[in-house]
Structure 1
Amino acid sequence: MANEMFYIKVETPQNATVYAFTRSVTGILDYAGTASATEYDFSHMQCVDGSAYFTPSWYMYLPKELQATINVYLPNDIKNLDVGQYSFLLHVGALLLAVDERDGLLIAELLRRRAAVFANFLPIVLHLIKPVAAEALFAYVYGGFRGDSDFAQIYKANAPISTGETNVAAILLEAAKDALKPNPEMESPEEMFIRYFREAESFDFTIGLVGATNHPWIAGIEKYESVVKTATAFRFFDDATVGAKSQEFFASLATMVQAEPYNPHDHNAISVSIDDLGAKLKGLVSKSKAGYLRATGAAILRKARPSLFAYGSKLWRLGADPSFFENSIVVRIHT
């Protein structure tokens, strides 16, 4: 009896990728890589919607690379597909897309929000996230305030994890061990990441900002929303295009991520400025400060590359309420 095939099609405005999973005669689910399945193949299968993210509509801005339609294709004659396998297939598409787009922070967020879904399929999950696990761990532990509560203990123990593990930092560290080469007896977690970024030829990761409420950029969001409402009310844009225009507007914003060694409060500070929304609406060119990288993460980057003052960057995601939610403003940083 042949293995059963399952396909997950992830389609964005830019491209479509099909991933394959198999299930053995003994009921074991496994990942089979990308596939060349066709619409003819899909026409002979059941199609169900996959879960994109926790709440896609929460985002004010999401790049086209992450605007995905996810479909899961199941055999018509499927039997004994248990709830855990079904739930995993419905949710793993978003994780696959996050890996392909190297959005490590999104990987960490999905692992945290879908902990119960992924816990029983850790061998597959570890394999899938391995290419981006080091950057995901860095963003999760040193970019926000959720991931570092017990990371020091997890790092010091350096113990393998088992199926059923739900601690995001432990999962990411396990997946990143080949890249990070942790040595708790010789290095602290911070020293490990300093070495990793120092030795890397280049890096590319996503990370959230902190301190947004203390800086002027988010004040422009209210002005922008007011202009959009006025434009819609007076039919400068019709309802069908206002969303697309907004996405184009945010995609066009330039960012600047740079070191502030002169900062009297923290000589390792790394600030993030973005095109000022109010100024841009007036046709002017001006940036305003949106926030900072968290001090712990910034210190690692500065110590790893002390001669690097300007970081390549772009606005990557923008949540609905940057003044309240952690990781509402997410940037992609690269060298």
Structure 2
Amino acid sequence: MANGMFYVKIESPKNATVYAFSRSVTGILDYVGKTTPTGDELSQMQCVDGSAYFTPSWYTYLPSELRATVCVYMPSNVENLDASQYSFLLHVGALLLAVDERDGLLVAELLRRRAAVFANFLPLVLHLIKPVAVEALFAYVYGGFRGDSGFEQVYKANAPIATGETDVAAILFAAARDMLKPNPEKESPEEMFIRYFREADSFDFTIGLVGATNHPWVAGIETFESAAKAAAAFHFFDDSTKVAVKSLAIYDSLSTKVQAEPYNPHDHNAISVSIDDLGAKLKGMQSKSKAGYLRATGAAILRKARPNLFAYGSKLWRLGADPSFFENSIVLRIHT
């Protein structure tokens, strides 16, 4: 049959969530929403592994919410499922997980990595990412080293996008337009975000740090990981998984401090990030060390939107295996 239901199941250590997609008799794929199919229903369907949303070797640490497996259930007698629909179903689970966990930066990263997959389903994608589109756009444009010159053009045009668009900033801007209420004739992109964050009751977003390799916290990672590998090797014939679990627990326990530095001689809008020092933890001590900064433009937007806010709620969210190798290696969740 040409129509039918498809289920994307995402299972993490904390919970399992199932999302439903329908396919009409004309072959159009649509999102139904979260659902609870019966075990019997799923057992009668084909099950394929969803595509991983990250390369595990890229990361030293992920929160339990993102340590998930994705399975896609399809009708056993499905017909005429074209390659693009099949690819979309395999990859959309990661996007759904990122949206549900409000990891806007991961949403942006997935749109960039899987541009060809999502390009033909833009109306559906815009609907799915809308809840975190503003924060995802902010983190993508004003976090990391990507720069915002490309977004300025997109912002000034303020035009609808067509199916097939692969520019991440354009896609996120289209999904966020209703909430941002852009007015290019009167505001710059930065002024638009300042207004948005000033008017928001609260905010909750993920963003990468810059300058991590210039600060001492990164050095502690190597010390800690070397100790963990040595412990795992020592317990190999016992239960080395206990060492891995303990390492994750330590990363889970790390506290962070994100605060304004109006006294900074180089940038009075600077926002610095400090994290519990891993080397100190190995010695049974508790202290923080500087891990980096929010990128200057993003920090200026936040400071101008909330000039009386000096301390931001925060949590270590993701940690790349090599902070010097790729952008957004240290990712924080920041909230008020």
Tell me the TM-score normalised to structure 1 length.
0.98
- Partner SS state of residue 159, structure 1: coil
CA distance in 2, matches of 1:233, 1:57: 19
Deviation at 1:145, TM superposition (A): 2.1
Contact conserved, 1:147 with 1:169, CA < 8 A, in 2? no
Aligned equivalent of 1:65: 65
Q: 3-state SS of the aligned residue for 1:17?
A: strand
Contact in 2 for aligned 1:58/1:319 (Cα 8 Å): yes
Q: Are 1:329 and 2:330 counterparts?
A: yes
Q: 1:124 to 1:80 in 2, by over 3 A?
A: same
CA distance in 1, matches of 2:147, 2:36: 38
Q: Which stretch has the larger CA shift, 290-299 or 229-238?
A: 229-238
Within a 5 Å distance, the mapping from 1:29-40 to structure 2 comes to 29-40=29-40
Shift in Å at residue 2 of structure 1? Answer: 8.6
Question: Per-residue displacement from partner, 1:92-127 (whole Å, max 9, x unpaired)?
Answer: 000000000000000000000000000000000000
1:218–1:323: 8 Å Cα contact kept in structure 2? no
Does residue 198 of structure 1 match 2:198? yes
**What's 2:313 paired with?**
312
- Alignment partner, residue 282 of structure 2: 281
Moved over 6 A (4+): none
Distance 1:92 1:147, change over 3 A: farther
Q: Any residues of structure 2 matched to 1:9-88 within 5 Å, and which? A: 9-88=9-88
Instruction: Write the letter of the residue equivalent to 2:16.
Output: A
Q: SS of the residue aligned with 2:165?
A: coil
1:235 is matched with 235
Q: Which amino acid aligns with 2:131?
A: P
Closer/same/farther in 2, CA of residues 222 and 2 from structure 1, 3 Å limit: closer
Q: Which residue identity lines up with residue 196 of structure 1 in the other structure? A: Y
In structure 1, C-alpha distance between the alignment counterparts of 2:129 and 2:233, rounded to whole Å: 45
Give the distance between the partners of 1:147 and 1:12, measured in 2 at CA: 33
Runs of 5+ in structure 2 lacking a partner? none
CA distance in 2, matches of 1:38, 1:102: 28
In structure 2, the residue matched to 1:213 is: 213
Shift of 1:231: 1.4
- Separation in 2, partners of 1:282, 1:92: 43
Q: 2:107 & 2:177 partners in 1: Cα distance? A: 17
- 1:168-217 per-residue CA deviation (whole Å, 9 max, x = no partner) reads 00000000011100110010000000000000000000000000011000
Q: Which moved more, 1:190-199 or 1:225-234?
A: 225-234
Superimposed CA distance per residue, residues 300-333 of structure 1 (whole angstroms, 9 cap, x where no aligned partner): 0000000000000000000110122110000000
User: How far apart, in 1, do the equivalents of 2:88 and 2:126 lie?
Assistant: 14
- Offset of residue 148 of structure 1: 2.0
> In the alignment, which residue of structure 2 is the partner of 1:156?
156
- How far off its partner does 1:141 sit? 0.0
**1:303 partner letter:** K
Contact between 1:5 and 1:21, CA under 8 Å: does it hold in 2? yes
Contact persistence 1:52–1:68 (CA under 8 A): no
Q: Give the total of aligned pairs.
A: 335
Equivalence for 1:293: 294
Q: Specify the code of the residue in structure 1 equivalent to 2:100.
A: D
Question: CA separation in 2, counterparts of 1:163 and 1:157?
Answer: 17
Secondary structure of 2:149 counterpart: coil
**CA distance in 2 between partners of 1:127 and 1:251 (Å):** 32
Identical counterparts, % of pairs: 80
- Indicate yes or no: 2:130 matched with 1:130: yes
Q: CA deviation at 1:239?
A: 2.0
Q: Distance in 1 between matches of 2:129 and 2:65?
A: 18
Give the C-alpha shift of residue 147 in structure 1. 5.4
Inter-partner Cα distance in structure 1 for 2:131 and 2:230: 45
